[in-house]
Structure 1
Amino acid sequence: MSSVGALSVSGLDLKTLLSIVRNWKFAAPCAVVTLAGVWVTLKDWSLYSKYRGKNLPPVYNKGLILPFIGAAAQFLWDPLAMGKRGHAVYGDIFTVYVFGKRLTFVCGPKAQEQFCKSSDEDLSQQDAYKFSVPLFGEGVIYGAEPERRAEQIKLVTSSLHTTALANYVPMMLQETEAYFSKWGNEGTTDIYTALSELIILTASRCLMGHEVREQLYEEVAKLYAQLDKGCTPISFFAPHLPIPAHINRDKARNAMVKVFKKIIEDRRRDGRVEKDVLQIFMDAKFKDGTSPTVEIVTGLMICLLFAGQHTSSVTSSWTGLFLLEGARQGGPANLLPELIKEQVASGPLDHRAIRESMPLLHASLLEALRLRPPLIFLMRSAMIDIDIQGLTIPQGDTIFLSPVFSGQRSDVFSAPTEAFDPRRFLEPRNEHLKFSHGWVGFGGGRD
C-alpha cells in the first residue's frame, strides 16, 4: 500500500479529503451567492407584500445587473452615467438595487424641495452619512448623537460667521499674492493643482493656525491627501473594509490627531491664544459644560477642511477654466474685461466688496457650480415612508439627489443648459429663483 493510501483522517483517505476540499472551494462561493440571492428574493417579496397597492418607484434594470450585487458594477464604475441613464428611462424617481440596498434617485424642483426641507426624523443625514465616521472620528458630526451633532454643526458654522470671514480675507489675500508672485509672466500650469495648493495654504493659515502654515504645511497636506483618497464609492457600503485606501485613511487620521494634540498642548502650556478656527474649537464649551477632546477637535478640523477644500478647489478651477475658454473664443463670451472693470470699481478687496460689489464674478462662480458641482450626490435615509409625486419611497431606502442633474433641467434653466452663461443668475433673468429648490448647488443649505 502506498504511503498516500495509508493516510486517513477520521476514516477518509487523503485523496478523498483533498477532493472534498477542492470541491468545497468551488461550492462555498456558490452557496454564499445562492443564500444571498434567496435573502434578496425574500426581502423583495416581503417589501412588495407590505406595500401591495402602493405605487413604488420603478426599479432600474438597464445594463449589467447581477444577482445580489444588482447594479453595483455600474454604480461603482460611473454612478453619474447610471443615474443619467435611469432618469432618461424612468423619469424623476427610480430605485436601484446595489448589494441588496435600495438606492432611490430623485430629481426635479418638487422632489428636491421635499428632500431639502424634510426633517432629520423623516429623512436622516446621520444614517445616510455613517460611512464618514472613520474619516471624521467617533463622536464627530455624523458619529455623534443628534443633539451633540447640532451643537458641533453650530460651532463649525459660527467659526465661519460673516465677522470671522471678514477677518480672514486679508490673510487670504496675503497668501494669494505670495503664491502667484512666484509665477512668471507666462507659462503652463495645472489650474486645479495650483488652486488646490493655494486653498490648502489659506486653510492652514486661517483655520488650522500659523503653526501648521509655518512648520507643518507639507505634512498636513500629505495627510489630507491620504484622507481624501480614503473616500471611495465602496466606502459608502463598507467603510471599514480593510482595503489599502481605508488603511491609509485610518493611519492619516491618527497622525492628524497627533499633529493637533501637540499644537493644542503647546498653546495651553505657553498660554497663547490665537485668532483662528482651531482656537475657537479649543475654547468651545458644550451645553453640558464639557469641552471638545483633542480627537473631537481634530475631527471637526478634518470635517471643515473637507467641506471647504474640495468644494472650493473644484468650483474655483472650473470658474477659471470657463472664463479662460470664453477669453479664447472672444466676443460676448469673453467676460474678463467686464470682470476686471467690476473689480476696479469695487475698490480695495475686502469681504464687503467681494460679497456686494462683484455680481458678475459671483454669477460666474454660481454658473460653474451649476455646470460642474463638486458634490455629485446628496444622500438621506428614509426613516419613514415618503410620498413624492405620487410615488411611495419605502422606509429604509437611501435617497440620492444629484446637483449635477438639478443644474441641467430645461424646466429650470434656459437652453442651452450646457452653455456657460453667468447672466442667467443676474437680473432680470434670475433663472435659479423660478422654483424654491429648482437648483441645488451644494445641498439646499443643509449638507
Structure 2
Amino acid sequence: MMNNKLQLFNVFFLIVATIVATKLILKTLLIKSSKRLPPVVKGRIPLIGGVARFVANPVEMLKEEYESLGSVFTINAVYKNITFLLEPDVSAYFFKAGESELSQKEVYGFTVPIFGPGIVYDAEYSVRKEQFHFFEESFRIDKLRGFVDYMSQEVQDYFSKWGDNGEVDLKQEMENLIILIASRCFLGQEVRESLSEDIAALINEINVAMGPLTTMFPHLPTPPHWRRDKARKKLDDIFSNVISSRRLSPKSEDDMLQSLINSKYKDGRATTVTEVTGMLITALYGGQRSGSATATWTGAYLVHYKAIWFDAVEEQRRLMKKHGDAITYDAISDMHHLYRCIKEALRLHPPLAMLLRKSHKDFSVTTRKGDKYDIPKGHIIAASPVLSNRVPHIYTNPDSYDPERFCPGREEDRLAGPFSFVSFGGGKHTCLGETFAYLEIKTIWSYLIRNFEIELITPFPETEYNEIVWSPKGKVMVRYKRRKLVIE
C-alpha cells in the first residue's frame, strides 16, 4: 500500500514538475521576443492562476483584475491561456474576426452531447453557417408576428390557473411557462398539447448536468452526465417520431419544426431527422434557460422598484387605450419602457458570463488608453458581457438598475460603439433569438402588469454562478393579487 502511494506521489510530482518546467521555458522564450504580452493574473494557488477566484465569484474577480490590469489580461489555467478582451476598443476584434482567426468549434465542444454530433458547433464552419441560416428563416419577422399570438394564448392560459391571490416561486413559474411557449412556437400545437411536460422534464435533466465541470470534461462518467445522455436519447426518440409524422402529413404548419424540415443545404440536400432533432434541441435548450432567467430577473427588478413598476403600469394603460386589451405584435412594439426594463436586466445579468473563441493567428489589440498588446496564436480568447456591460466610463453607476439609461438622448449603450452592450453577443455571432426573447418576455410581463399586483417577499435574489446560464439563486418568492387594470 505504501509503495502504491509513493508511486502515485512520484507520478503527480513528475506531472507538476513537467508543467512548471514547460511554463518556465515558454516564459523565457517569450521574454526574449519583442512581443508585448498581456499582463497575467496572479493566483494564490500555483498552476491555475486566477481560475479558482473566477469560479468562486466571476464578477468580483473580473472587476478586480480590470481595475488592476486594465481591459486586456490573461489567466493561466494549467494547460490553457485565457485572454480577456473587456472594453469595446479591444473586444471589437473578438466580434469582428473571421473563423480562420477566431473559431468557436474548439471551445464549445461541451455542447456536443446536448446538441448532437454535426450540429452547430460540431459542424464544419460552412455547414454551421447554413444551419444558422435555417434558424434565421424560423425567426423572420412574418413568423415572429404569428408567434406573438401563440405566446399571448400560452401566457393567458397559464396564469388563468393562478388563484385570486397567493404566493409562488417566480423563478419556477417562468421556467414552466417558457418551455410551454417554446414548445408551441417551435414544435407546434399538437406536440405542445401531448408532449410538452415530457420535453420539459427531459430538458431540465440536461440543464442539471450543465455546470462548470461539464464545460471542461463533458464526457466525464458522472451520474449527472449519465442522466443527461439518457434524457438526450429520449428526446431523440420523441422528435424522431414527431418529425416522421409531420413529414407524412399533408398539412404544413407555421412553426420552427416545419421550417427546419423544409430547409435544404446549398447542394440541394434536405435536412436529416438527426439534424432537425439536434437543431430543435439547440433552440429549446438555449431559449428555455436564457429566457426563463431573463424573465425572472426582469420581474424581480420590476416588483422590487415600485417607481419602475408604476411607470410600467402607466405604459400598459396608455397602450390599452391605443391598441385595446389584446396583446398583439403592434402593441408589444410600442412597449418602450418595458423594453428598457428587460434590456437593463440583461445588461446586469447577461445569460452567458463568457463568450469564447480559439485564436488561430497572432493578433494585436490597442486599448482605449493606447496600450498595445500582442496575443499569441493558441490562446483562448474571452469576451465577458457581465463586465463589458458594466464598464464605468460607458455606464453611469454601472452596478445600479436604471432602465432610463437607454432613453433617447441618453442611450449609454451607444456611447462607445456597437459593442458597448453585448448581452446577445455581437458582430458575426449575434444571437439569432434576440427579437424572439424580447417578444416573449414583453408578452409575459405586460399580461402580469395588466392583471396582477405583485410584491417580492424574499430578499432580492443573488446570482447562481455555478451554472452556465446565470439565473437567480434559490427561490424568488412573490405574493400576487389578481386585479384588472382600469383604463381611466
TM over 0.5: yes
Residue in structure 1 matching 2:344, options 360, 367, 370: 367
Residue 259 of structure 2 is aligned to residue 280 of structure 1: yes
Distance (Å, rounded) in 2 between the aligned partners of 1:26 and 1:74: 31
Aligned position for 1:139: 118
How do residues 25-424 of structure 1 correspond to structure 2 at under 5 angstroms? Answer: 25-46=5-26, 48-50=28-30, 52-62=33-43, 64-67=44-47, 69-327=48-306, 330=307, 334-347=310-323, 348-355=326-333, 357-389=334-366, 390-414=372-396, 416-424=397-405
Moved more, 362-371 or 237-246: 237-246
Distance (Å, rounded) in 2 between the aligned partners of 1:148 and 1:309: 25
CA contact (8 A) 1:206 1:276 kept: yes
Distance (Å, rounded) in 2 between the aligned partners of 1:252 and 1:220: 9
Could you tell me which amino acid in structure 1 is paired with residue 426 of structure 2? G
Residue 420 of structure 2 is aligned to residue 441 of structure 1: no
C-alpha displacement at 1:272, in angstroms? 4.1
Distance (Å, rounded) in 1 between the aligned partners of 2:346 and 2:254: 31
The two structures have a TM-score, normalised by structure 1, of 0.88
SS of residue in 1 equivalent to 2:167: coil
The two structures have a TM-score, normalised by structure 2, of 0.81
Relative to structure 1, is the Cα distance of residues 47 and 149 closer, same or farther in structure 2, using a 3 angstrom cutoff?
Answer: farther
Deviations 1:40-61 (A, max 9, x none): 5325523651572211111111
Could you tell me which amino acid in structure 2 is paired with residue 351 of structure 1? Y
C-alpha displacement at 1:268, in angstroms? 2.9
Moved more, 136-145 or 189-198: 189-198
Moved more, 263-272 or 396-405: 263-272
CA contact (8 A) 1:212 1:220 kept: no
Relative to structure 1, is the Cα distance of residues 295 and 36 closer, same or farther in structure 2, using a 3 angstrom cutoff?
Answer: farther
Relative to structure 1, is the Cα distance of residues 182 and 125 closer, same or farther in structure 2, using a 3 angstrom cutoff?
Answer: same
Deviations 1:360-411 (A, max 9, x none): 1111111111112111111111111121120111111111211111121111
Task: Specify which structure has the bigger relative contact order, considering alpha-carbon pairs within 8 angstroms and separated by 6 or more residues.
Answer: 2
Aligned position for 2:4: 24
> Where do 5+ consecutive residues of structure 2 fail to align?
367-371, 431-488
Distance (Å, rounded) in 1 between the aligned partners of 2:288 and 2:113: 19
Aligned position for 2:481: none
Deviations 1:201-258 (A, max 9, x none): 0111110222331111111111101111222212222222212222222221111110
SS of residue in 2 equivalent to 1:381: strand
Distance (Å, rounded) in 2 between the aligned partners of 1:418 and 1:345: 35
Relative to structure 1, is the Cα distance of residues 324 and 295 closer, same or farther in structure 2, using a 3 angstrom cutoff?
Answer: same
CA contact (8 A) 1:346 1:358 kept: no
CA contact (8 A) 1:282 1:292 kept: yes
Relative to structure 1, is the Cα distance of residues 377 and 283 closer, same or farther in structure 2, using a 3 angstrom cutoff?
Answer: same
SS of residue in 2 equivalent to 1:413: coil
Aligned pair count? Answer: 420
C-alpha displacement at 1:148, in angstroms? 0.4
Deviations 1:145-200 (A, max 9, x none): 11100000010121111111111111110100001111123221111211111110
Relative to structure 1, is the Cα distance of residues 44 and 177 closer, same or farther in structure 2, using a 3 angstrom cutoff?
Answer: farther
Q: CA RMSD in A?
A: 2.0
CA contact (8 A) 1:227 1:248 kept: yes
CA contact (8 A) 1:412 1:438 kept: yes
C-alpha displacement at 1:113, in angstroms? 1.8
